[in-house]
Amino acid sequence: MIQFKKNIFFLISLFCLSCHAQKNLLKESLASDNPKIKKVMEKPDYYELQIIYTQITRDKKGKIHFKDYTYNLDAKNYYCPASTVKFPIAVLALEKLNTFSNTSINTQYSIEEQLDKVKFSEEITKLFAVSDNVASTKLLEFTGFDYVNQKMHDKGLEPFRLSHRLSAPDSGNPLTKSITLYKDDNTTEVIPAKMNQAVVPLSLNKIKKGVGHLDSEDKLVNTPYDFSKKNYYPLETLHNTLKRIVFPKVFKENERFKLTEKDREFILFSMQNLPKNAGYDPVEYYDGYCKFFMFGDTKENIPDNIKIYNKIGQAYGNLTDSAYIVDKENGVEFMVSATLYVNEDGILNDNKYEYDTIGLPFLAELGRQLYAGNKKL
């Protein structure tokens, strides 16, 4: 009888643990009474909300297991990816660099007629620390559009389309400039300019947004803004890019980025590095400047025990973040990616978006809710 009771207790314990492990923290978080969550969840379709949350577990052998939970996820519903496209640009710049002998992350290069030399490691640092547009454009001149698009396709990271630079003159010019590599053995190699493939317009839901937009001369045009020739990086593709960088061994060899371990560690370090640690003014570039989850609505310092490896995007009323959040002290580890659209007046390019009042508070609180839930697991 005693042994029977022990067996029953053991089975009940296993059942409870299994139920606990399958707890849908995303559903619970979105049902929160917190006004920062409720404001968006009262009209999630209006805010074009999409979310992926990944619960991460390890078995006794240390093998990683993912359990994905999603909300309104649909790659056919277009949103502007903004600066999130800088993530694959940075990673694939290092992958392409590895195809040249005698190079490293500290290799320098110059772009066409420009005399100034730039260093790969420094541009990647800027790209993640403060989401620097110029840095991403310099790296894109090295990779080219076709290279990034083909490599993402080859790794199964689809759908995806890189078609223009960010906040750069003549941003959609398919011609990428010639590059001079200054190799680590003091030799040079010239990479010729390349004409990349022409952009094919996208045919997706919500590809035209708003009721009007300001043109290049700040004049109001009373038609929706057309994104059909813009970059395309759906949330699931972004989330899966993050998975491959953080946990490459979970994926098949042909699905991984071809990076040295030193390169991958540098990407991860850059993703979690705070602006103040990268040499930026901590007042202007506070800790949460590029950390929307948990800290996007505050200028307080991020505690040392919390590490956020992420890439954000912010443009045209869209806010997006994709993050791997870790707190070893409290046993917290999870991934979350989300995007939403905040543009009450329906006019694009007028710089009147509800980032600070609706978007960032929602993403920050969602991150805090998921973090608190993971602490209890």
Cα gap 175→193, rounded to integer Å: 7
Domain presence at residue 256:
yes
Burial (CB count within 10 angstroms: exposed 0-12, middle 13-18, buried 19+), residue 1: exposed
Domain presence at residue 228:
yes
Smallest Cα–Cα separation from 40: which of 366, 372, 369, 368? 366
pLDDT, residue 35, reads: 98
Structural domain that includes position 262: 28-376
Residue 109: partners with Cβ closer than 8 Å, 6 or more residues away:
117, 118, 120, 142, 179, 180, 181, 182
Number of domains observed in the structure of the chain? 1
pLDDT, residue 242, reads: 98
The CATH number assigned to the domain holding 159 equals 3.40.710.10
Domain presence at residue 68:
yes
pLDDT, residue 56, reads: 97
pLDDT, residue 362, reads: 98
Domain presence at residue 2:
no
- Ranges of residues in the chain whose predicted pLDDT is under 50: 1-2, 4-20
Domain presence at residue 21:
no
Domain presence at residue 208:
yes
pLDDT, residue 377, reads: 77
pLDDT, residue 13, reads: 38
Domain presence at residue 14:
no
Domain presence at residue 4:
no
Tell me which long-range contacts 322-325 makes (C-beta under 8 A, separation of at least 24). 322/84, 322/87, 322/235, 322/238, 322/239, 322/241, 322/242, 323/242, 323/291, 323/292, 323/293, 323/367, 324/242, 324/246, 325/293, 325/294, 325/367, 325/370, 325/371
